[in-house]
Protein backbone atom coordinates (compact mmCIF):
# COMPACT_ATOMS: atom_id res chain seq x y z
CA UNK A 1 0.00 0.00 0.00
CA UNK A 2 1.09 3.46 -0.74
CA UNK A 3 2.12 5.41 2.28
CA UNK A 4 0.08 8.50 2.92
CA UNK A 5 2.20 11.24 4.36
CA UNK A 6 0.37 13.79 6.45
CA UNK A 7 1.29 17.41 5.80
CA UNK A 8 3.68 18.81 8.30
CA UNK A 9 2.15 21.24 10.66
CA UNK A 10 3.51 24.70 10.23
CA UNK A 11 5.07 25.98 13.35
CA UNK A 12 4.44 29.71 13.42
CA UNK A 13 5.53 30.27 16.93
CA UNK A 14 8.14 32.91 17.52
CA UNK A 15 11.62 31.63 17.15
CA UNK A 16 14.59 32.85 19.07
CA UNK A 17 17.22 34.81 17.23
CA UNK A 18 20.83 34.00 17.20
CA UNK A 19 21.15 35.20 20.81
CA UNK A 20 18.24 33.08 21.93
CA UNK A 21 15.91 36.08 22.39
CA UNK A 22 12.48 35.87 20.95
CA UNK A 23 11.45 39.18 19.23
CA UNK A 24 7.82 39.85 20.15
CA UNK A 25 7.81 43.44 18.74
CA UNK A 26 5.21 43.78 16.00
CA UNK A 27 6.01 45.72 12.81
CA UNK A 28 4.00 49.02 12.77
CA UNK A 29 1.13 48.84 10.34
CA UNK A 30 1.26 51.21 7.36
CA UNK A 31 -2.51 51.57 7.17
CA UNK A 32 -2.92 54.44 9.70
CA UNK A 33 -0.34 56.57 7.82
CA UNK A 34 -2.12 55.99 4.55
CA UNK A 35 -5.42 56.77 6.25
CA UNK A 36 -4.12 60.14 7.53
CA UNK A 37 -2.78 61.03 4.10
CA UNK A 38 -6.13 60.22 2.54
CA UNK A 39 -8.00 62.42 5.00
CA UNK A 40 -5.58 65.33 4.43
CA UNK A 41 -5.98 65.07 0.67
CA UNK A 42 -9.77 64.97 1.02
CA UNK A 43 -9.73 68.08 3.25
CA UNK A 44 -7.59 70.01 0.77
CA UNK A 45 -9.87 68.94 -2.10
CA UNK A 46 -12.90 70.14 -0.14
CA UNK A 47 -11.33 73.53 0.63
CA UNK A 48 -10.49 74.01 -3.04
CA UNK A 49 -13.87 72.80 -4.26
CA UNK A 50 -15.93 75.17 -2.07
CA UNK A 51 -14.69 78.49 -3.57
CA UNK A 52 -14.71 77.01 -7.08
CA UNK A 53 -18.30 75.93 -6.59
CA UNK A 54 -19.23 79.40 -5.31
CA UNK A 55 -17.63 81.07 -8.35
CA UNK A 56 -19.40 78.72 -10.74
CA UNK A 57 -22.73 79.33 -8.99
CA UNK A 58 -22.24 83.10 -9.21
CA UNK A 59 -21.44 82.91 -12.92
CA UNK A 60 -24.50 80.77 -13.59
CA UNK A 61 -26.71 83.14 -11.58
CA UNK A 62 -25.37 86.17 -13.42
CA UNK A 63 -25.97 84.49 -16.76
CA UNK A 64 -29.52 83.47 -15.88
CA UNK A 65 -30.49 86.82 -14.30
CA UNK A 66 -32.39 89.10 -16.70
CA UNK A 67 -30.39 92.15 -17.79
CA UNK A 68 -31.30 95.47 -16.23
CA UNK A 69 -33.27 97.66 -18.63
CA UNK A 70 -31.27 100.50 -20.12
CA UNK A 71 -32.10 103.91 -18.78
CA UNK A 72 -34.24 105.92 -21.14
CA UNK A 73 -32.40 108.91 -22.60
CA UNK A 74 -33.30 112.19 -21.03
CA UNK A 75 -35.57 114.17 -23.34
CA UNK A 76 -34.03 117.30 -24.83
CA UNK A 77 -35.77 120.61 -24.52
CA UNK A 78 -36.85 120.50 -28.18
CA UNK A 79 -38.16 116.94 -27.88
CA UNK A 80 -40.09 117.74 -24.69
CA UNK A 81 -42.16 120.54 -26.30
CA UNK A 82 -44.55 119.57 -29.09
CA UNK A 83 -44.67 122.35 -31.66
CA UNK A 84 -46.98 123.21 -34.54
CA UNK A 85 -45.37 124.12 -37.84
CA UNK A 86 -48.20 125.93 -39.68
CA UNK A 87 -48.21 129.68 -40.48
CA UNK A 88 -48.80 132.09 -37.62
CA UNK A 89 -51.33 134.86 -38.26
CA UNK A 90 -49.71 138.30 -37.90
CA UNK A 91 -50.62 141.78 -39.20
CA UNK A 92 -48.28 143.52 -41.61
CA UNK A 93 -48.81 147.29 -41.56
CA UNK A 94 -47.32 149.27 -44.44
CA UNK A 95 -43.88 150.65 -43.66
CA UNK A 96 -42.06 153.72 -44.91
CA UNK A 97 -38.93 153.16 -46.95
CA UNK A 98 -36.39 153.54 -44.13
CA UNK A 99 -38.20 151.31 -41.59
CA UNK A 100 -38.80 148.72 -44.32
CA UNK A 101 -35.06 148.50 -45.03
CA UNK A 102 -34.23 148.22 -41.32
CA UNK A 103 -36.88 145.56 -40.72
CA UNK A 104 -35.67 143.44 -43.62
CA UNK A 105 -32.18 143.63 -42.15
CA UNK A 106 -33.53 142.58 -38.74
CA UNK A 107 -35.44 139.56 -40.09
CA UNK A 108 -32.31 138.41 -41.91
CA UNK A 109 -30.41 138.46 -38.60
CA UNK A 110 -32.99 136.58 -36.53
CA UNK A 111 -31.94 133.07 -35.44
CA UNK A 112 -33.55 129.90 -36.80
CA UNK A 113 -34.58 129.03 -33.24
CA UNK A 114 -35.24 131.06 -30.12
CA UNK A 115 -34.03 128.78 -27.35
CA UNK A 116 -35.95 125.55 -28.12
CA UNK A 117 -38.61 127.15 -30.34
CA UNK A 118 -38.25 126.58 -34.07
CA UNK A 119 -39.10 129.38 -36.48
CA UNK A 120 -42.47 129.17 -38.22
CA UNK A 121 -43.86 130.92 -41.31
CA UNK A 122 -46.17 133.90 -40.93
CA UNK A 123 -49.35 134.73 -42.84
CA UNK A 124 -48.25 138.28 -43.73
CA UNK A 125 -45.16 140.46 -43.80
CA UNK A 126 -42.31 137.91 -43.69
CA UNK A 127 -39.99 140.83 -44.38
CA UNK A 128 -40.97 142.43 -41.05
CA UNK A 129 -42.46 139.61 -38.94
CA UNK A 130 -41.24 136.33 -37.48
CA UNK A 131 -42.76 133.65 -35.26
CA UNK A 132 -41.41 130.77 -33.18
CA UNK A 133 -42.90 127.73 -31.49
CA UNK A 134 -46.37 126.81 -30.32
CA UNK A 135 -47.91 128.84 -28.76
CA UNK A 136 -46.24 131.34 -31.03
CA UNK A 137 -43.67 133.78 -29.77
CA UNK A 138 -43.69 136.64 -32.28
CA UNK A 139 -41.32 139.38 -33.40
CA UNK A 140 -42.80 142.40 -35.20
CA UNK A 141 -40.69 145.19 -36.64
CA UNK A 142 -41.85 148.70 -37.50
CA UNK A 143 -44.88 148.93 -35.20
CA UNK A 144 -45.88 151.91 -33.05
CA UNK A 145 -43.43 153.23 -30.47
CA UNK A 146 -44.05 152.34 -26.84
CA UNK A 147 -45.86 154.99 -24.79
CA UNK A 148 -45.33 154.79 -21.04
CA UNK A 149 -44.78 157.02 -17.99
CA UNK A 150 -41.22 157.98 -17.16
CA UNK A 151 -41.58 156.14 -13.87
CA UNK A 152 -42.05 152.77 -15.60
CA UNK A 153 -39.13 150.42 -15.45
CA UNK A 154 -37.28 149.32 -18.56
CA UNK A 155 -35.19 146.18 -19.00
CA UNK A 156 -31.82 146.21 -20.64
CA UNK A 157 -31.03 142.83 -22.21
CA UNK A 158 -27.89 142.17 -24.24
CA UNK A 159 -27.49 145.84 -25.12
CA UNK A 160 -31.17 146.49 -25.96
CA UNK A 161 -33.66 148.38 -23.78
CA UNK A 162 -37.16 146.86 -23.60
CA UNK A 163 -40.30 148.24 -22.01
CA UNK A 164 -42.57 145.46 -20.68
CA UNK A 165 -46.35 145.40 -20.62
CA UNK A 166 -47.64 142.56 -18.46
CA UNK A 167 -51.21 141.56 -17.69
CA UNK A 168 -52.75 138.59 -15.94
CA UNK A 169 -53.54 135.70 -18.28
CA UNK A 170 -52.12 137.61 -21.23
CA UNK A 171 -48.81 137.52 -23.11
CA UNK A 172 -45.96 139.77 -22.03
CA UNK A 173 -45.32 142.42 -24.70
CA UNK A 174 -41.81 143.86 -24.87
CA UNK A 175 -41.04 146.85 -27.10
CA UNK A 176 -37.64 148.37 -27.77
CA UNK A 177 -37.32 152.00 -26.62
CA UNK A 178 -33.74 152.75 -27.64
CA UNK A 179 -33.87 151.90 -31.38
CA UNK A 180 -34.51 153.91 -34.51
CA UNK A 181 -37.31 151.51 -35.50
CA UNK A 182 -39.39 149.88 -32.76
CA UNK A 183 -39.32 146.10 -32.44
CA UNK A 184 -42.02 144.29 -30.48
CA UNK A 185 -41.56 140.84 -28.91
CA UNK A 186 -44.69 139.06 -27.68
CA UNK A 187 -44.02 136.20 -25.23
CA UNK A 188 -46.96 133.88 -24.37
CA UNK A 189 -47.64 133.14 -20.69
CA UNK A 190 -46.70 129.51 -21.33
CA UNK A 191 -43.05 130.59 -21.46
CA UNK A 192 -41.64 131.64 -18.12
CA UNK A 193 -39.16 134.50 -17.87
CA UNK A 194 -39.86 136.87 -20.74
CA UNK A 195 -36.38 138.37 -20.46
CA UNK A 196 -34.79 135.01 -21.20
CA UNK A 197 -36.66 134.90 -24.52
CA UNK A 198 -35.61 138.45 -25.34
CA UNK A 199 -31.89 137.64 -25.18
CA UNK A 200 -31.44 135.98 -28.61
CA UNK A 201 -33.71 138.53 -30.28
CA UNK A 202 -31.70 141.36 -28.70
CA UNK A 203 -28.57 140.14 -30.46
CA UNK A 204 -30.29 140.46 -33.85
CA UNK A 205 -31.62 143.91 -32.91
CA UNK A 206 -28.12 145.14 -32.02
CA UNK A 207 -26.79 143.82 -35.34
CA UNK A 208 -29.51 145.29 -37.59
CA UNK A 209 -31.39 148.16 -35.94
CA UNK A 210 -29.51 151.44 -35.27
CA UNK A 211 -29.79 153.09 -31.87
CA UNK A 212 -32.20 156.01 -31.44
CA UNK A 213 -30.88 159.52 -30.94
CA UNK A 214 -32.68 159.91 -27.61
CA UNK A 215 -33.35 157.11 -25.13
CA UNK A 216 -34.93 156.85 -21.68
CA UNK A 217 -32.56 157.58 -18.81
CA UNK A 218 -32.63 153.98 -17.66
CA UNK A 219 -31.29 152.83 -21.03
CA UNK A 220 -28.29 155.12 -21.23
CA UNK A 221 -24.89 153.54 -21.01
Q: pLDDT tens digits, residue range 89-114?
A: 999 999 999 999 999 999 999 999 99
Q: Which pLDDT score is estimated for 150? A: 86
Q: What is the 3-state secondary structure (H, E, C) of 112-169?
A: CEECCEEEECECCCCCCEEEECCCCEEEEECCCCCCCCCCCCCEEECCEEEEEECCCC
More confident residue, 51 or 163: 163
Closest by Cα among 216, 219, 220, 221 to 148: 216
| Rounded average pLDDT over 77-89 | 71
Would you give the end-to-end CA distance of the chain in angstroms? 157
What separation in angstroms does the CA of 12 have from each of 6, 8, 9, 22, 83? 18, 12, 9, 13, 114
More confident residue, 114 or 30: 114
Does the pLDDT of residue 15 top 90, yes or no? no
Model confidence at 169, in pLDDT bands (50, 70, 90)? Answer: confident
Does the pLDDT of residue 215 top 70, yes or no? yes
Q: What percent of the chain has pLDDT over 70?
A: 62
Amino acid sequence: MDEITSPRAVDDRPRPDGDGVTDLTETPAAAPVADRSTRRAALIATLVAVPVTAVVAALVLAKLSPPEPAAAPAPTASAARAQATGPVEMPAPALAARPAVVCRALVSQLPATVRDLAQRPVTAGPEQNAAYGDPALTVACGGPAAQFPSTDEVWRVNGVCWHPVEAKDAPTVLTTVDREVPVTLTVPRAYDGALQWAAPVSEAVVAAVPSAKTVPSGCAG
